[in-house]
Amino acid sequence: MSLLLLDSASLWYRAYYGMPDTLVAPDGTPVNAIRGFIDMTARLISQYQPQRIVACLEGDWRPTWRTDLFPGYKANRVDESGEEDEPDTLTPQIPILLDFLDLMGLPMVGVDNYEADDLIATYSKREQGPIHIVTGDRDLFQLVDDERGVKVVYLAKGFSQQEIVDRAWIAEKYQIPGDRYALFALIRGDASDGLPGVKGIGEKGAAIIANNFTSIESALSAAHEDDERLTPLLRKRLIEGSEYIKIAPTLVHCATDVSLPQMKLEVPSQPKDLSDIYAFKDRYGLGASVDRLISALGW
């Protein structure tokens, strides 16, 4: 039974910036992110025909077990009050969107002190494939697993230019073995998450290491042993970065052991009465977006 995992926050951010801000409810509430998210979900269901679906939510976008290790984790996204720096007209849309998804019966999961990435990773390891992970962020490339049928539907360039990420795609894009993206990303770093990577080693150096070693521990050991697969400069940078390397796997790797709630993941079947859904649609001016989702669900 195929499973569609939605990186919800990633999608509603892309919906927000991809849809005109002139889309508002009758009372003036902005709904561009809501309509864009619903439209994307409808198109994804139509395209991939999943039997199961989960909208994964952020229980905490900066889990304490990550920030305790590295206070700079996602600190670049924090506003003056210490909260996530989010567009003012996006914030009020999220509760409305979640109410709508609940009304539609679409499974949603968030777990305290875990990011959506961690939930997605746990589902991808626990559930049988084929699994499509939908995101605009490359962090989740580490979960790609050809043997288990786990692929990433990458929407960074927009829905119409989505890319299906498997190990061959990773190998071609980054010139590394397709199963070593996590190692590559750990070394390279990710400015969007405030992660510096191993200081002084950029993407080319990270690729050299990922092509020659299967783990950061083996690469560091090789650096101490003057292994000739590493240039003198790479050996020096790895040794100098030893303290960061100790904590980096916990920061970069998704947790795969989240205690997920027991719940049905099946795509919802048609309710006996759609009147509440249509009333919600009219109240917020969601128009054809709701109709498209209903059609995609086969209701």
Phi, psi at 81, each rounded to 5°: -90, 0
State the Cα–Cα distance between residues 248 and 206, nearest whole angstrom: 14
Model confidence at 76, pLDDT cuts 50, 70, 90, reads confident
**Residue 7 falls inside a structural domain:** yes
**Residue 294 falls inside a structural domain:** no
**Residue 297 falls inside a structural domain:** no
DSSP structure string for the chain: --EEEEEHHHHHHHHHHHS-TT-B-TTS-B-HHHHHHHHHHHHHHHHH--SEEEEE--S-SS-HHHHTT-TTTTGGGB-TTSSB---TTTTTHHHHHHHHHHHHT--EE--TT--HHHHHHHHHHHS-S-EEEEES-GGGGGG-BTTTTEEEEE-TT-GGG-EEE-HHHHHHHHSS-TT-HHHHHHHH-BGGGTB--STT--HHHHHHHHHH-SSHHHHHHHHHTT-TTS-HHHHHHHHHTHHHHHHHHHHHSPPS---PPP---BPPPPPS--HHHHHHHHHHT-HHHHHHHHHHTT-
- What domain range includes position 214? 181-252
CATH of the domain at 12: 3.40.50.1010
**Residue 272 and residue 243 in contact, taking contact as beta carbons nearer than 8 Å:** no
Rounded average pLDDT over 260-279: 96
Give pLDDT tens digits for 138-177.
Answer: 999 999 999 999 999 999 888 888 999 999 999 999 999 9
Model confidence at 78, pLDDT cuts 50, 70, 90, reads confident
Residues 159 and 247 in one domain: no
Residues 71 and 196 in one domain: no
Residues 126 and 23 in one domain: yes
Count of structural domains within the chain: 2
**Residue 296 falls inside a structural domain:** no
Residues 198 and 270 in one domain: no
Residues 88 and 152 in one domain: yes
**Residue 298 falls inside a structural domain:** no
Residues 159 and 42 in one domain: yes
CATH of the domain at 198: 1.10.150
Residues 133 and 206 in one domain: no
Give pLDDT tens digits for 199-255.
Answer: 999 999 999 999 999 999 999 999 999 999 999 999 999 999 999 999 999 999 999
**Residue 144 falls inside a structural domain:** yes
